[in-house]
């Protein structure tokens, strides 16, 4: 609904106003979405984004996009594949609450979202790993020779008293030095915190060797647009696909108040409000003070707007799938079976497999690094599959 007090001209300028408004809102939402990593020289703390919440913002953007969420789901399926090569590993307990299979699920989710993973390692007195926990990438920030951890890192309402410091895992640390570190943690925290193994593919750029920045972040606006298009569809449904209109009037008194404390403009606005929204009236009655200033209503063809929205929805969804390196057909966007497309689908799947292999290699790299230190029976080098 558009309330205008000028003549009803330029119908073409307002035909796609909904999509124009969408473009402006998208631009505003990504205004500060820049992958900036900054080091605080005074304490060696690295800010993960301008507001130190970049991974949190990326996860929220993905979760607000139906297409991006579907892409992450497909990535998780293919990255995990059949899990570990060696039989019998899935049921091995890696901590009090998780089996190795459950731990792998958490690791895969982090890799699918942010192309990185972090494992908290707890050791026995001989320096062998006896427990492993997966820490969400969003909960960790680099500081000095380790990481600050907080379950609400980067979120509103974070309790500083819950912040803990984990040293980075050093495979060259001697058992004696590791035992000394454990004793210091117990004296200070009342328990062993352990160390953190942080694995990701380093990028080129200022401090891009400090935190992972997923490649699709370069086109994060496409993910934002996908979510906004869904909200636009919801608004159209809530309004019952009501035809947009332009209402033109002469001047309306917004100064003189009647006995009820309202102006003519107040009554006019109230009438318009009754014609908008999910439970709006299907009839709008407007009165003019004179014939000269009688309101006129110009309707806009809603079918054209809905058609434009539908085409934009498909176009943006395809772009999201492309930047997240997932073939269209795997998220319901392809048209498989058409003559001449089989080779294209085959090529897309081959490229997708290469992308998945790179993500699997991050997990393999992590477990290969840990394998000499594992006290968990059955975990041997080469246990991770593709």
Give the HSE-up count for residue 355: Cα atoms under 13 Å, Cβ half-sphere: 24
| Alpha-carbon distances, residue 33 vs 26, 29, 102, 223 (angstroms) | 11, 8, 33, 12
The answer to whether residue 384 scores a pLDDT higher than 70 is: no
Separation between Cα atoms, residue 231 and residue 237, nearest integer Å: 10
Instruction: Please write the tens of the pLDDT for every residue from 237-263.
Output: 555 545 666 777 767 778 888 888 888
The answer to whether residue 199 scores a pLDDT higher than 90 is: yes
Q: What are the residue ranges spanned by the domains of the chain?
A: 2-23+223-353, 35-215+368-373
Q: Smallest Cα–Cα separation from 317: which of 23, 67, 65?
A: 67
Instruction: Please write the tens of the pLDDT for every residue from 216-239.
Output: 998 899 899 887 876 665 555 555
Please tell me the predicted confidence (pLDDT) of residue 308: 56
Separation between Cα atoms, residue 48 and residue 25, nearest integer Å: 25
DSSP-based three-state secondary structure for 385? coil
The answer to whether residue 143 scores a pLDDT higher than 60 is: yes
C-alpha R_g of the chain: 28
Instruction: Please write the tens of the pLDDT for every residue from 277-302.
Output: 555 556 666 666 656 666 776 665 65
The DSSP bridge partners found for residue 129 are 123, 374
The listed range with the strongest mean pLDDT (29-33, 313-317, 368-372) is 368-372
pLDDT (average), residues 184-193: 94
pLDDT band at 373 (very low <50, low <70, confident <90, very high): very high
Please tell me the predicted confidence (pLDDT) of residue 261: 87
pTM over 0.85: no
| Alpha-carbon distances, residue 149 vs 101, 141, 160, 168 (angstroms) | 24, 7, 10, 12
Where do runs of H (alpha helix) occur along the chain?
11-14, 17-29, 54-63, 66-80, 100-114, 175-189, 220-238, 264-273, 302-323, 342-370
Give the HSE-up count for residue 134: Cα atoms under 13 Å, Cβ half-sphere: 21
Please tell me the predicted confidence (pLDDT) of residue 4: 34
Give 182: exposed, middle or buried? Use CB within 10 Å, 0-12, 13-18, 19+: buried
Give residues with Cβ within 8 angstroms of 364, minimum separation 6: 384, 386
């Amino acid at each position: 609904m558009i309330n205008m007090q000028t003549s009803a001209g330029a119908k073409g300028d307002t035909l796609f106003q909904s999509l124009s408004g969408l473009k402006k809102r998208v631009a505003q939402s990504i205004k500060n979405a820049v992958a900036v990593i900054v080091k605080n020289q005074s304490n060696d703390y690295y800010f993960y984004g301008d507001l130190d919440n970049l991974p949190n913002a990326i996860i929220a953007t993905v979760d607000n996009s139906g297409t991006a969420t579907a892409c992450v789901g497909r990535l998780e399926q293919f990255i995990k594949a059949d899990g570990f090569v060696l039989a019998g590993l899935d049921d091995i307990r890696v901590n009090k609450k998780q089996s190795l299979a459950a731990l792998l699920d958490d690791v895969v989710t982090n890799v699918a979202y942010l192309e990185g993973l972090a494992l908290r390692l707890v050791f026995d007195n001989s320096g062998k790993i006896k427990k492993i926990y997966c820490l969400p990438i969003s909960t960790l920030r680099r500081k000095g020779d380790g990481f600050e951890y907080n379950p609400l890192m980067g979120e509103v309402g974070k309790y500083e008293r819950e912040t803990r410091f984990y040293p980075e895992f050093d495979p060259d640390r001697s058992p004696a030095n590791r035992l000394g570190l454990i004793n210091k943690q117990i004296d200070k925290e009342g328990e062993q915190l352990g160390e953190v193994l942080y694995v990701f593919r380093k990028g080129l750029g200022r401090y891009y060797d400090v935190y992972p920045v997923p490649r699709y972040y370069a086109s994060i606006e496409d993910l934002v647009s996908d979510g906004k298009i869904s909200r636009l569809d919801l608004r159209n449904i809530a309004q019952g696909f009501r035809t947009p209109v332009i209402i033109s009037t002469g001047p309306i008194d917004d100064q003189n108040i009647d006995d009820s404390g309202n102006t003519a403009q107040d009554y006019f606005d109230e009438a318009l409000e009754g014609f908008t929204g999910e439970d709006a009236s299907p009839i709008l009655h407007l009165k003019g003070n004179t014939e000269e200033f009688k309101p006129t209503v110009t309707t806009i063809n809603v079918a054209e707007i809905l058609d434009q929205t539908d085409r934009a929805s498909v176009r943006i969804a395809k772009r999201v799938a492309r930047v997240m390196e997932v073939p269209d057909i795997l998220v319901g966007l392809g048209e498989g079976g058409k003559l001449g497309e089989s080779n294209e689908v085959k090529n897309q799947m081959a490229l997708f497999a290469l992308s998945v292999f790179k993500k699997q290699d991050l997990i393999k790299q992590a477990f290969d690094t840990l394998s000499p230190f594992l006290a968990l029976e059955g975990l041997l080098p080469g246990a991770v599959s593709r």
